Structure 1
Amino acid sequence: MSEPIVQLHNVTKRIGSKTIIDKLSFEVPRGEVFGFLGPNGAGKTTTIRMMVGLMSITEGDVLIGGYSITDHFEKAIKQVGAIVENPEMYKYLSGWNNLKHFARMVPGITKHRIQEVVALVGLQNRIHDKVKTYSLGMRQRLGVAQALLHKPALLILDEPTNGLDPAGIRELRDYLRRLAKEEGISVVVSSHLLSEMELMCDRVAIIQNGRLVDVRLIKDIMQEEQRSSVVFEVSDVEEARQALSQNPGGFPAEVQQGGIILQLDREEIAEVTALLVHAGIKIYAIKPVAKSLEDKFLEMTGSDQIA
């Protein structure tokens, strides 16, 4: 297996006596969209700032492509394209001239490469218009184009969907997934839009109060529970609840309009169905209630503060 593109080893940030980030350690595999999730104030932006050298690390280290961000900054940062907070552009210049201006600062970026990234982010039709005429989504795409100019192995985006409308969010999400799949670029995205992370990322690191709660594959989070919520739509809700509570095994049920909800495993679903049929209650539907990533996130962090 290839070496991870990013490795955080016990990264700690203290300001005075306050510990903002506490011994954070995780790895970002190559070619994945990696989500960085946490409530407001959990330390996401602080961590990203340390990863790209905008903030000093009190203890620990960040390795990018095997190079330490503290000891070999230039070799490490050369592999990174990043937008921390908002992409800043010269609004009175065209998108093309913004990219050309940025390209002058980095040796080896050709006109062909600029054309390549413009096509990659789908801005061909508007690249020669002034940035002040761009929508927020277009500016975000121009920012991504700028971050990709020098062919980084890693793209870091801090809250990239902020202020985007649903169509813009979907566009960005599809585009980032394509980048990871077709270009082999690793993408780190921090966000509080949990439903988006569920659709966008392969894996997420969840942090709270500057500490790592867990790093999980999205598919594992969504599939891991054996017991799940199941809704039975029945002819008589109260009668069904009583029939289940009188059963020696006991199936505590929560009543909702037109049905009852129970926490059951696969075998218990069959038992409850048989019990209700035996009690003469008609069953119109049996539906699993899939937990969203948001529900799982709140369970893991024990927090109702999701930014």
Structure 2
Amino acid sequence: MTGVLAVDAVGVTKTYGDLVAVDGISLQVAQGEVYGVLGPNGAGKTTFLRMLFGLIRPDAGTIRLFGRTREESGTRALDGVSGFIESPKFYPYLSGRKNLAGLARLDGGAAPGRLEEVLGIVDLADRAGDKVGGYSFGMRQRLGVAAALLRDPQLLVLDEPANGLDPAGIRDMRALVKRLAASGLTVLLSSHDMTEVEEICDNVTIMRTGSVVYHGGIGELREQAPAQGHRVSTADDGRALELAARRPRLEVAAHPDGGLVARGDQADVDAYVTELVTAGVTIRGLELTEAPLESLFFMLTEATG
């Protein structure tokens, strides 16, 4: 199926009464890429993924998976597609291995050795005999990925796979997705974390209240991002702003929580800080604000009007 898109969504819309949950979204995911659907809670990400899996029907538009639509192919449209929506659920009184074995039987069986193979892929081989009730949240998330991999999919769909995880769990989940992507698997994941998407994804769609506010590559997104911000706390912000006015390549403005935010090239920020000290303006604090891509994400998704 070379050249056929893994996901080809055109004009997809879903409404609930007066609420437009997804508003005419179009996106294309090529085979072999890692694609992110990014947005805050309520942006419409999960609704879109539910339509992709056929759990709900769009009111308008078309979704093709490897060239197949639900209307044309029925459940066969999901051949080669696997994943989970929201957090995966398991029987807590059964072991991880027995949970997977039961799911495999429900799905028509798994290839010999596949169950142990996927447990190894998600780093759960040593805990496969333990009851899932004793698993951490991160382990259950990884078991969900293992369950999705049982059918050896071409497209893996993950809904906020790192949501609710502690820092170690987030690190492990990102490493797992990177390994899967390196194997050639197509991955479509949703997230509200710009850092997660930046580290993992090739291309991204950013959503706000059901609509698309950005389509494109991570590299193109970086080009649109503002310069890294530095929050500067001083004993005399008025004088600090006066000195900043002399530096046209530096943008300095009041921070809503107090102090100033300076944006510009690192060399310009360093020179500004040096000038403040030389002028006798006491600096009480200097720290980085959110990363440039994270800042752009907030600008895109929190805009009004």
Asked if TM exceeds 0.5, the reply is: yes
Q: Which residue of 2 aligns with 1:224?
A: 224
Confirm or deny that 1:119 pairs with 2:134.
no
Contact 2:37/2:189 (8 A) holds in 1: yes
Match of 2:118, SS? Answer: helix
Give 1:225 deviation, angstroms.
Answer: 4.8
Q: Which moved more, 1:55-64 or 1:16-25?
A: 16-25
For residues 39-54 of structure 1, the aligned pairs below 5 Å read 39-54=40-55
- Separation of aligned partners in 2, 1:294 and 1:249: 24
Give 1:117 deviation, angstroms.
Answer: 0.9
Contact 2:38/2:205 (8 A) holds in 1: yes
Q: How has the CA–CA distance of structure 1 residues 232 and 118 changed in structure 2, closer, same or farther, with 3 Å as cutoff? A: closer
Q: Which residue of 2 aligns with 1:295?
A: 295
Q: Which moved more, 1:7-16 or 1:188-197?
A: 188-197
Q: How has the CA–CA distance of structure 1 residues 169 and 266 changed in structure 2, closer, same or farther, with 3 Å as cutoff? A: closer
1:241-261 alpha-carbon deviations (Å, 9 max, x no partner): 54553x5979764479xx975
Q: Which residue of 2 aligns with 1:67?
A: 68
Q: Which residue of 1 aligns with 2:9?
A: 8
Give 1:203 deviation, angstroms.
Answer: 2.2
Match of 2:126, SS? Answer: coil
- Separation of aligned partners in 2, 1:30 and 1:218: 17
- Separation of aligned partners in 2, 1:239 and 1:133: 58
Match of 2:206, SS? Answer: strand
Q: Which residue of 2 aligns with 1:148?
A: 149
Confirm or deny that 1:191 pairs with 2:191.
yes
Gaps of 5+ in 1: none
> How much identity, in percent, do the aligned residues show?
37
Q: Which residue of 1 aligns with 2:172?
A: 171
Contact 1:6/1:64 (8 A) holds in 2: yes
Match of 1:172, SS? Answer: helix
- Separation of aligned partners in 2, 1:122 and 1:253: 47
Runs of 4 or more consecutive aligned structure 1 residues displaced over 6 Å after TM superposition? 230-234, 236-240, 248-252, 287-290
TM-score of the two chains, using structure 2 as the length reference: 0.81
Q: Which moved more, 1:199-208 or 1:144-153?
A: 199-208
TM-score of the two chains, using structure 1 as the length reference: 0.81
Q: How has the CA–CA distance of structure 1 residues 273 and 23 changed in structure 2, closer, same or farther, with 3 Å as cutoff? A: same
- Separation of aligned partners in 2, 1:162 and 1:290: 19
Give 1:70 deviation, angstroms.
Answer: 3.0
Gaps of 5+ in 2: 281-286
Give aligned pairs, total. Answer: 299
Give 1:93 deviation, angstroms.
Answer: 1.6
Give 1:9 deviation, angstroms.
Answer: 0.6
Larger radius of gyration: 1
Q: How has the CA–CA distance of structure 1 residues 80 and 47 changed in structure 2, closer, same or farther, with 3 Å as cutoff? A: same
Q: Which residue of 2 aligns with 1:215?
A: 215
Q: Which residue of 1 aligns with 2:28?
A: 27
| Aligned residue identity for 2:300 | M
- Separation of aligned partners in 1, 2:260 and 2:86: 45
